[in-house]
Amino acid sequence: MRELLSPGRVSQDLSVSSAWTRLEGVAGAGNHQVERLDCEAGVAVIKSQMTAHKVCAELCLHEGTERMLVIAFALSGQSAFHCPKGRELKFQPNQATVSVFREGKGQRVYAADAPIQQLRLVVTESALARFIGPERCQGLLGSALGQHESFRRLACYDINPSEHLRRLKSPGIQRQDGLTQRIHVLSLLSEQLQALEVAPARQARLTARDLDTLDRIDLFMKSNLDQPLNNGFLCTAMGVSEYRLKEYFRQVHGVSPGRYLLELRMTRAREMLAAGYRVSEVAYKIGYQHPNNLTAAFTRYFGHTPKSVRGNRAL
């Protein structure tokens, strides 16, 4: 995995500007470009573009002491945020993911072999309270994050057509004056806050004990990919009901246990293939009885065959 330095740290005291800061480069893993605009105190918009031949990670660090609302628009490609506590927040193509962060330490990981484009709105809690009032702000962000939560996913939904999003993701936005840029950013924020309010009521939050259980399930799955890890097997092995199992994954990962297992297996398969393992070896290691089954699943997931991933196996 190749690490990329993020274009600056998110600070609690942000200077207002109509100028975008930009970081770009060409590395062995591919091309990357990150642009950021701090258009209002506590409000920033960040655009990331990546074309990587290997999995890449962008370092993230938030130095402030207050919570942040982050609305991430995954315009193309897949990426994820990995926090030091071992939790993961995934960003799926054509979806908007809304989350609240207490701290921004971690890595934003970009998948390989596919163009990735993302736009993020980052708003501090004090700025959000200034715009919509403390009571509405508290209702949106919820209770204080627990010890096991460096972030909390609030919602995930399909990206709706928006003139403001279209303008912000266009390169031409940088030629607009500061007022026009600010109008598009705040209007897009307002649209998303309205979308959150009409979304169905969220289920009860997971407790610290629930998150500990999910961590144990996650570790068990990663350590036993060669086993038949269906819901019944996991419930018996980990001592949880199927309802709780599904709820854990829905609230934290936004997918079913089966879909999460597929993502784990495909990620492990690509890593092993890149290291030089044969398809038959990989299939056995991650729970497929026949190499052809792995080939079919891998091709559906990534859009290319396992044999197209070439690597040199270390002796």
Query: Same domain for 221 and 124?
Result: no
Q: Is residue 184 part of a domain?
A: yes
Helix (H/G/I), strand (E/B), else coil: 243 = helix
Structure tokens at 312: 């040199």
Query: Same domain for 43 and 171?
Result: yes
DSSP H or E run through 123: strand 116-124
Cα–Cα distance measured from residue 86 to residue 219, given in angstroms and rounded to the nearest whole number: 10
Helix axes 257-274, 242-252, angle to 10 degrees: 60
Q: Which residues span the domain enclosing 232?
A: 208-308
**Cα first-last separation, the chain:** 20
Q: Is residue 258 part of a domain?
A: yes
CATH of the domain at 100: 2.60.120.10
Cα–Cα distance measured from residue 217 to residue 191, given in angstroms and rounded to the nearest whole number: 37
Structure tokens at 56: 């890449």
Q: Is residue 314 part of a domain?
A: no
Q: Is residue 23 part of a domain?
A: yes
Query: Same domain for 29 and 10?
Result: yes
Q: State residue 231 phi and psi, 5-degree precision.
A: -60, -40
pLDDT in tens, the chain (315 residues): 444 444 434 444 445 556 888 877 655 556 778 899 998 899 999 998 887 666 666 777 665 678 999 999 999 888 888 877 777 788 888 888 898 887 667 887 777 767 888 999 999 999 999 999 999 998 888 878 776 677 888 888 888 889 999 999 898 888 888 899 999 999 999 999 988 876 544 445 667 778 788 888 989 999 999 998 999 999 999 999 999 899 888 877 778 899 889 989 998 998 899 888 999 999 999 999 899 999 999 998 888 888 888 665 544
Give the total number of structural domains in the chain. 2
CA atoms within 13 A on the CB side of 181: 25
Cα–Cα distance measured from residue 305 to residue 102, given in angstroms and rounded to the nearest whole number: 40
Widest CA span in the chain: 61
The β-bridge relationship of strands 106-110 and 79-82 is antiparallel
Query: Same domain for 74 and 121?
Result: yes
Q: Is residue 203 part of a domain?
A: no
Helix axes 242-252, 231-238, angle to 10 degrees: 100
Q: In this structure, are residues 294 and 286 in contact, taking their beta carbons and an 8 Å threshold?
A: yes
Query: Same domain for 179 and 269?
Result: no
Q: Is residue 9 part of a domain?
A: yes
State the residue for tokens 């949880």: 240
Query: Same domain for 212 and 65?
Result: no
Cα–Cα distance measured from residue 230 to residue 72, given in angstroms and rounded to the nearest whole number: 31
Quick: pLDDT tens for 92-111. Answer: 888 888 988 876 678 877 77
CA distances from 34 to 7, 8, 23 (A): 7, 10, 5
Last residue of a domain, one of 198, 221, 252: 198
Query: Same domain for 186 and 293?
Result: no
CATH of the domain at 237: 1.10.10.60
Query: Same domain for 132 and 101?
Result: yes
Quick: pLDDT tens for 250-300. Answer: 877 778 899 889 989 998 998 899 888 999 999 999 999 899 999 999 998
Last residue of a domain, one of 198, 217, 242: 198
Query: Same domain for 218 and 301?
Result: yes
Q: In this structure, are residues 105 and 60 in contact, taking their beta carbons and an 8 Å threshold?
A: yes
CA atoms within 13 A on the CB side of 142: 21
Q: In this structure, are residues 188 and 121 in contact, taking their beta carbons and an 8 Å threshold?
A: yes
The β-bridge relationship of strands 56-60 and 106-110 is antiparallel
Query: Same domain for 134 and 262?
Result: no
Q: Is residue 315 part of a domain?
A: no
Last residue of a domain, one of 153, 176, 198: 198
Query: Same domain for 12 and 153?
Result: yes
Query: Same domain for 232 and 143?
Result: no
Q: Is residue 298 part of a domain?
A: yes
